[in-house]
Amino acid sequence: MMKAMQNKFDEETPASVPEKESAPIRQPSLVSRWMNSLLQMGLGESLLRVSTNLFSILAIAAVILLARAYYQQAPRQPASNDNQTAEAESTPGADLQPMPALLEPVIFGISRAAQIHTNVPSRPRQDITTYTVQDGDTVFGIAEKFGLEPQTILWGNYNILLDDPHSLRPGQELTILPVNGVYWEWLGGISFGDWAEFYGVKAADIIEFPGNKIDPNSVGDYNNANIKTGTWLIIPGGTREFVNWSAPLGVTRENPASARVLGQGSCDPVSGGAVGYGTYVYPTNKHFLSGFDYNEKTNHRGIDLAGSEGEGVYATDAGVVVYSGWNDYGYGNMVMIDHGNGFQSLYAHLSAIYRGCGQSVGQGEGVGAVGSTGRSSGPHLHFELMTATWKVNPWDYLPPP
């Protein structure tokens, strides 16, 4: 029966329907067969590592070649500089330098830039120089500019400044010594050794100093050196007392005549009168400097307090006026008060004087007005406080500003 049904099915199937053909089988490539062989041999991992390294080397080489090709081209100019670019291209012999290589060796650590200039230490000066005083200059400022002590500026220019820092004026030609010390004229009359000792040095210090240009072999005995009188000499390291240009000490109501050398403002002796409290107030409305401070190195033994022309000047303590008038030594219009307790006070450069000789004044009472008379570079009050033996620093006695 099964055979009969199969025959019937074969009869009903159209003869035109062909039987489906099987797909052809692709043969593996040579590379695939080679790689399969390596894998079967256990070399797959080594092959992968070698392939990766080879690819990395090829990639780096490609980057280097591309970078060199790019940077060897002429640099492009911005669009706004087209004209300049055209001119540069038309210029014959233009040499375009390539940019540095992209890959530079990395240097770890602290880099140090190349020094184009070499710093050569400055040599000590040996010769005298001159300096023209400018507006705003001070003895301290000039000294600092040349690396000197301020007293050296005064000691090198006595004929101009007279040991008085207030004498400094624009346009003056100052002698600037090469070292700290004194500049003075050798006039003879004493042994050269004694002359050097007066300034606190030895004769050899002066004779052998190169700036003096003295031949040591020509002077003979140093202590009796054969040096022409009238020769100005640098005394390196020398010192001297300042010439006293300021008010003398000991001007009291009992002995005001000691101030007669100062000028026509000196007074006659006074008996009695007001006595001070021993405490002191500011003699001006302003309690700050407008000039020089107290400094023994510059022979400025007072303070220059600020004040406008015509402002009041007041007695720092009660006392009696022992000098009132013009001073011939740079103070201009000046008032001195003896406080009767061992102290005296001085008020200088006044534009006006309100108190005369012998008058008693109370603490804080007006004695004059701020001015700029005498050797003064502008309105201020030069104020001094002194005893019979010394000019003290007023800041040590005035209250805090």
What's CA 87's distance to the chain center, in Å?
Answer: 49
Q: What CATH class has 129-236?
A: alpha beta
Instruction: Determine which helix (DSSP H) or strand (DSSP E) holds 360, and give its type and residue range.
Output: strand 360-361
Range with the poorest average pLDDT among 71-85, 145-159, 177-191, 249-263 = 71-85
Task: DSSP for 262-315, please give it.
Answer: G-TTB-----S-----S----SSS--SBSSPPPBGGGTB-SEEEE--TT-EEE-
Residue 109 pLDDT exceeds 60: no
Residue 257 has a pLDDT of 76
Residue 193 has a pLDDT of 93
Please give the mean pLDDT across all residues of the chain. Answer: 80
Pairwise CA distance, residues 220 & 43, whole Å: 105
Residue 132 pLDDT exceeds 70: yes
Average pLDDT value for residue range 365-381: 91
Percent of the chain whose pLDDT exceeds 70: 74
Residue 222 pLDDT exceeds 70: yes
Residue ranges of domains in the chain? 129-236, 256-396
Residue 251 has a pLDDT of 86
Percent of the chain whose pLDDT exceeds 90: 46
Average pLDDT value for residue range 367-383: 90
Q: Which two tokens stand for residue 21?
A: 């053909």
Task: DSSP for 183-233, please give it.
Answer: EEEE--SS-HHHHHHHTTS-HHHHHT-GGG---GGGS-SGGG----TTEEE
Query: For 133-177, what is each residue's pLDDT tens digit?
Result: 998 888 888 999 999 999 999 999 988 988 888 788 899 999 999
Residue 243 pLDDT exceeds 80: no
The answer to whether residues 314 and 383 touch, using CB atoms and an 8 Å cutoff, is no
In Å, how far are 39, 162, 255 from 235, measured between CA atoms? 101, 18, 40
Average pLDDT value for residue range 39-55: 69
Instruction: Classify burial at 195, counting beta carbons within 10 Å of its beta carbon; exposed 0-12, middle 13-18, buried 19 or more.
Output: buried
Residue 117 pLDDT exceeds 60: no
Residue 338 pLDDT exceeds 90: yes
Instruction: Classify burial at 78, counting beta carbons within 10 Å of its beta carbon; exposed 0-12, middle 13-18, buried 19 or more.
Output: exposed
Looking at 3.30.360.10, 2.70.70.10, 3.90.1170.30, 3.40.50.150, the CATH number of the domain 256-396 comes to 2.70.70.10
Task: Report the residue count for the chain.
Answer: 401
Instruction: Determine which helix (DSSP H) or strand (DSSP E) holds 380, and give its type and residue range.
Output: strand 380-386
The answer to whether residues 375 and 278 touch, using CB atoms and an 8 Å cutoff, is no
Range with the poorest average pLDDT among 69-78, 201-210, 279-288, 291-300 = 69-78
Residue 27 has a pLDDT of 59
Confidence of residue 100 (pLDDT cuts 50, 70, 90): very low
Instruction: Classify burial at 353, counting beta carbons within 10 Å of its beta carbon; exposed 0-12, middle 13-18, buried 19 or more.
Output: buried
Q: Which two tokens stand for residue 156?
A: 């090198």
Residue 273 pLDDT exceeds 90: yes
Stronger pLDDT, 300 or 84, i.e. the higher one = 300
Residue 50 pLDDT exceeds 60: yes
The answer to whether residues 199 and 235 touch, using CB atoms and an 8 Å cutoff, is yes
Range with the poorest average pLDDT among 44-48, 165-169, 364-368 = 44-48
Confidence of residue 121 (pLDDT cuts 50, 70, 90): very low
Pairwise CA distance, residues 94 & 96, whole Å: 6
